[in-house]
Structure 1
Amino acid sequence: MPQPLADTLTHLRVGNQTFLINFYRDYRDDFAQWARQHQQLERSAAHELLRSVLVEFYNQVVDGRLTKLPPDLRAHVYGMAVQQPQASATDSLPPAEANRRRQLLGLFGQLSPDCQQVLMFFYFRGYNFKKLAVKMGFANATVGRIQKSGCLRRLYELHLRAV
């Protein structure tokens, strides 16, 4: 039985992502066709964009930036996709830089999931220390700053060992 729309945001706020998983499964092929027509994206890139947009939608709900479900969720998600900046492909990079990024990504994968999350929130999502602390459940912004610093230090140490 489908979940009532009134309960959807409540379920998302407590971490139940079933609604988003079902949305992705139901609309990924339609989204891929739309992305091909409007943004000239291949199917895999379109699926990645949809996942990224749904994660941002989820973050908006959890953070309280989105307090009611849009009347047409599909149109809302497509609008978010138009505003999402496209990631640059590493194929256009010089080989040395592409290798360096691949190596760094491999080292990043060796960090704990919490460290990965902290660094992703800070460097890729642009969260300040206060928002980082709230998202990660830290006591305050100072703890967030210390955690980010420690995670970055661990990544640097892994890099030194690999060189």
Structure 2
Amino acid sequence: MNSENQAKRNPFGVMDVPDPNDADVAQFAGSATLEGSAEDVNAASWGTADGTSRSGTIEGHWSSRWNGGADPTIACDSADKWKQGQGEARMVADRVYLYFDWDSGARKGLIDAKRQGPQRLVGKYINLTSPAITRPWIGRIVDDRRIDGRFPEGRLDFRR
């Protein structure tokens, strides 16, 4: 059976994040933190997600944005510029999958994270447009309208 026919772990049917619990993820999660404070860059309301999410759950539609490591697939990209798009969260057992886009939907990514307690998420991101790009990622579920996220080079946040 070739890899195209194998079942996907993620509920979106796209390429799975390779080794979402590997040593790089564990090392990053052991040193990176997110406080979820009112002073955090993700605290201000900036999202434009439609109202189709259910209250009390993180599942549903989100706005997404990231900064930090420049995307080598975008000419003239800068690391400090926010790249904004739309996203969707789905849960499968103790895992949270965040599928999102940026660059007007031309580029896509997926986070596969394990839920550790009620607020902490630990996993990995894959750039589905350039699958060689993967990064450890941690998240903090502040509430059903805000997920703060961090990867080694910057932020990858969700808001609605």
TM-score bracket for the superposition, by shorter chain length:
under 0.3
Structure with greater proportional helix content: 1
| TM-score normalised according to structure 1 size | 0.24
| TM-score normalised according to structure 2 size | 0.24
Structure with greater proportional strand content: 2
